[in-house]
Every structure is written in C-alpha cells, then in structure tokens.
Amino acid sequence: METKVLNYLAIAKKGRLVELGEEPVGAVARAQKAHLIVVAADASDHTWRRAKSFAAGTDQQCIRLGCTKEEMGFVVGRTSLAIAAVTDVQLALAMVNALGEPETYKAQLAVLNAKAEKAKKRAAEAKAHQRNLRKGKKK
C-alpha cells in the first residue's frame, strides 16, 4: 500500500501539487493551502509534533506514513524527505484511500471527502458560469 502512496507523492511532485520540507510545509499550512501533511515513519518526534501543530485548529489533515525518509525522498528526487504537504484535495484523498485502512483514517477521509465534494461543486458552477457567458456573447 505504501508504494501506491509514494507513487501519488511522485505524481504530486511532477504536478507541483506538493511542498517538500519543514519550512515550505509550514508556509503552505499557515496559508491554509495544505490538505494533507504526510510525515515519514522514521522522522523525528519533533518533526511529527511540528506537523501536528501546523494542522492544529484547521481542517488540514496530518498522517504518519509507514515508509522511511529515504523512500519518500527517492520518489521526489531527494536523498531524504521527512515531511510533505499535498495542496490538491483530490490527490490528498487518493493518498489516504491508497493506505487501505479506512477505519484508521476515518476522520481524515471524512474531512477530505467533504472538501473534495465542495471542490467538485465549485468546478461545476464555474463551468456552468463559463457556458452562460459564451451563450450571452452569441446573442
């Protein structure tokens, strides 16, 4: 299961939908743009506490993965990576679903599903708005 999550992390890196490292993760979390903060299994307790403090009091989710810093780093082109923040809600949801433990991550899945539905609704409204604008120009 962790391999699938790492693949999603690599996709996020290629799509520029992830921030890597403690400082960039902190910045994106303070801006309320991190949907999911992931921490490596062998990251220090200090890093885990920092990740939880970034997400505290917000609806940003924080999980600890079962993979090592080296494994996380390898998929994003670094020697190691302890912490990352996913900034796309659909990708964050896919990552948590890929962990394959719905009972363990029930709260995170609920929040991310709600956010994903809200984003889907906004996208549909924006598409309808664009369609209405085009209709108005044709008349």
> H or E stretch including 4?
helix 2-14
Facing residues of 32 across strands?
Answer: none
**Confidence tier at 1 by pLDDT (50, 70, 90):** low
Superfamily of domain 2-112: Ribosomal protein L30/S12 (3.30.1330.30)
Q: Kindly report, residue by residue over 40-88, the tens digit of the pLDDT.
A: 999 999 999 999 999 998 999 999 999 999 999 999 999 999 999 999 9
Please give the angle made by the CA atoms of 85, 87 and 91, to the nearest 5 degrees: 100
Domain boundaries, the chain: 2-112
Residue 1 in contact with residue 67, Cβ under 8 Å? no
> H or E stretch including 71?
helix 69-76
Q: Kindly report, residue by residue over 76-128, the tens digit of the pLDDT.
A: 999 999 999 999 999 999 999 998 888 888 888 999 999 999 989 999 999 98
